[in-house]
Structure 1
Amino acid sequence: MVGESRVLRTAGHGGKGRAVTEQEGRAPLRVEALGDVPGAVGWRVEVVETSPSTNADLAARARDGAASGTVLVAEHQTAGRGRIDRTFHTPPRSALTFSVLLRPSAPAQQWPWLPLVTGLAARSALARQHPAVDVSLKWPNDVLVAPAAHPDEPGKVAGILAERIETPAGPAAVIGIGINTATTREELPVPTAASLRTAGVPAAAIDRTVLLREVLTDLSALLVRWERGDLADLRTSYAAACATVGRRVRVELPQGDALVGDAVDVDGAGCLVVEAGGRRHTVGAGDVIHVRPA
């Protein structure tokens, strides 16, 4: 997974309408600034104008032999994929949508940590770039933001989808992330969603190019720790950043049942620990709803 070469390719990238999109916080990605992202992972970044799903496209490339560290970014994702086969659509350049390809050497039992590690990278990058915004994580694959003046009203600014792909060269991981940047309230798909704009970030302060570089830089450093097996350290970092821990939650389980209780921890396998009915339950998958205090 670790390498040195960094290659940039582009497709269908024009500058028409740049003045308007910059004013709206929707400037095209600056391709020339993405060719040398620092970090141990040798990221190779490709920007395309349109993709139905960067995860699906990158999974196909993985099966065809694409290298670890390949990053596919779409200026406009027309049929993005989320968990449980959900799809979503965002206006062009109103979000940062990309997927990364990894061919890890870490054992399979560590792979459930990949969406959590990616969430940590997105959170740290967003918090560093926009310190006036309260940024937290929602287990297992969401990033939340709220204006600093209203930290009790967070919304989902980003979602993460990690997939294991079987390829002729062995298993690979494709991790997709979509971060709502300049999306307006009217453009968001559901009332619980948010964007940097709705969290109070001025359009002029939104820079998707810088944000992408920051996320990839942080993700590179976290992946080194993950490959080394430093899960206790990652667990501490994640629990501290996770708004789910310490909250009353309702977990919609894959089999259709619901578990209501107090989220008390994230365990060494990356599972959520929920205390309910006098017992501790380990949840490896499910939709989590933060229950507001009565």
Structure 2
Amino acid sequence: MSRDRPSLDRALLGALAPDRVPGVSVEVVDELTSTNAEVVARARAGAPEGLVVVAEHQTAARGRLDRVWETPPRSALLFSVLLRPTAPTRSWPWLPLLTGYAVDKALKARGYDAGVKWPNDVLIGERKVAGILVERVETPDGPAAVVGVGLNVLLDADELPVPTATSLVLEGEETPDRSDLLVDLLSTFREAYDAWQAGGDLGGMRLLESYSAACVTLGRDVRVELPGGDALVGRAASIDPGGRLVVDGPDGETPVGAGDVVHVRPVA
């Protein structure tokens, strides 16, 4: 079907009040191969924390494990955020989980039945509505993190990349305003990121509790597909302090990190 897909409001996004989304500078571009690739290059050139690049269309967007996907122009929210965390690098594996939690929280506030699939996919019901890719970048100013988010907003059923995906327009709102939604997402993300940065171990434990409450993977029987074709089958028991999924299988509890898995699928 033909659907009206307005462009993002560049004036609104370019003039976000500091009290709404502090420390954020948004740039909207018509087309890029990948917002993550653009922000990685900008990070190496010295761009400050808080740079957000949003593309109306990506021609070679990347997900985890270099999976490539594409959506019709102006049908999704496709953006990347540059971070220069002061938190210890040992805690950086929490960044993709933190991002998934923030997207989930923003969608729940709008009435969607959202949840986080470990480590960082956001679902509505059992269908994926958003994916996240976080990359660590070495720069002359020290290590940085680039957080990329792809959220399906105005895709119709015949435009979804896979049968297990969905979009916001298929799940509730008739025509979600992408500009307002992006402001909500950035505000929620910044709040969670600042709390994680400032909270030390206590902040980390609070994030662990909040993420675990939102994680629909926990309590389910899962099959964790590992590189090389091996698999771990068991009950998703908990998230450990390092952000790893703890699977209670035949050999007891085994923690697995996001970088160590190919897929995590529920077992019927």
Give the equivalent residue in structure 2 for 1:4: none
1:246 aligns with 2:226: no
Answering whether residue 16 of structure 2 is matched by residue 36 of structure 1, we say: yes
Is the 8 Å Cα contact of residues 47 and 72 (structure 1) preserved in structure 2? yes
After the TM superposition, which parts of structure 1 deviate over 6 Å for at least 4 consecutive aligned residues? none
Q: 1:158 aligned to 2:134?
A: no
The one-letter code matched in structure 1 to 2:165 is A
Instruction: Rate the CA distance shift 1:226–1:254 in 2: closer, same or farther, 3 A.
Output: farther
Aligned counterpart, 1:3: none
CA distance in 2, matches of 1:25, 1:117: 32
Distance 1:211 1:93 in 2: 13
Q: Say if 2:234 is the partner of 1:261.
A: yes
The corresponding residue for 1:191 is 163
Instruction: From the superposition, tell whether residues 240 and 56 of structure 1 become closer, same or farther in structure 2 (CA, over 3 Å).
Output: same
* Alignment coverage as a number of residue pairs: 260
1:168 aligns with 2:143: no
Determine which structure has the larger helix proportion and give its number. Answer: 2
* Structure 1 gap segments, 5+ residues each: 1-22, 147-153
Structure 2 residue runs without a partner (length 5+) = none
The equivalent residue for 1:140 is 119
- 1:190-235 deviation digits (Å, cap 9, x = unpaired): 11111112224312xx111111101110111111121122111000
Asked if residue 289 in structure 1 is aligned to residue 262 in structure 2, the reply is: no
Query: Secondary structure of the residue that 2:185 maps to in structure 1?
Result: helix
- Counting aligned pairs with the same residue, the percent is 52
Amino acid in structure 1 at the alignment position of 2:185:
V
Could you tell me which amino acid in structure 2 is paired with residue 254 of structure 1?
A: P
What residue in structure 1 maps to residue 45 of structure 2? 64
Does 53-62 or 23-32 show the bigger shift?
A: 23-32
Identify if the C-alpha distance between structure 1 residues 252 and 268 changes in structure 2 by more than 3 Å, giving closer, same or farther. Answer: same
Quote the residue 1:118 is aligned against. 99
Instruction: Write the distance in 2 (CA, Å) between the matches of 1:115 and 1:41.
Output: 20
CA distance in 1: counterparts of 2:246 and 2:92, whole angstroms: 18
Q: Secondary structure at the match of 1:221?
A: helix
Q: Contact between 2:99 and 2:189, CA under 8 Å: does it hold in 1?
A: yes
C-alpha root-mean-square deviation of aligned residues, in Å? Answer: 1.6
Q: Map 1:19-58 onto structure 2 (within 5 A).
A: 24=3, 26-34=5-13, 35-37=15-17, 38=19, 41-58=22-39
Match of 1:201 in 2: 173
Deviates more, 1:154-163 or 1:40-49: 40-49
- The answer as to 2:71 corresponding to 1:96 is no
- Matched residues in 2 for 1:264 and 1:46: separation? 41
TM-aligned CA deviation for residue 250 of structure 1 = 0.8
Summarize deviations over 1:231-277 as a string: whole Å, max 9, x none: 11000000000000111111111343111110011111100010000
Aligned residue for 1:197, secondary structure, equals helix
The change in CA–CA distance for 1:258 and 1:222 in structure 2 (over 3 A counts) is same
Contact kept? 2:21, 2:186, Cα under 8 Å: no
Cα deviation code 1:99-156 (max 9, x no counterpart): 0000111101110000111111111111112x1x31000001200013xxxxxxx200
Partner Cα separation in structure 2 for residue 87 and residue 202 of structure 1: 28
Aligned: 1:233 with 2:206: yes
Q: Is the 8 A contact 1:50 1:75 kept in 2?
A: yes
Structure 2 residue aligned with 1:182, among 144, 149, 154?
Answer: 154
What is the CA–CA distance in structure 2 between the aligned matches of 1:83 and 1:70, rounded to whole Å? 22
Q: SS of the counterpart of 1:46?
A: strand
Instruction: Spell out, residue by residue over 1:65-99, the C-alpha distance to the aligned partner (whole angstroms, 9 max, x if none).
Output: 11110000001111100011100000001100000
Whether 1:276 aligns to 2:246 is: no
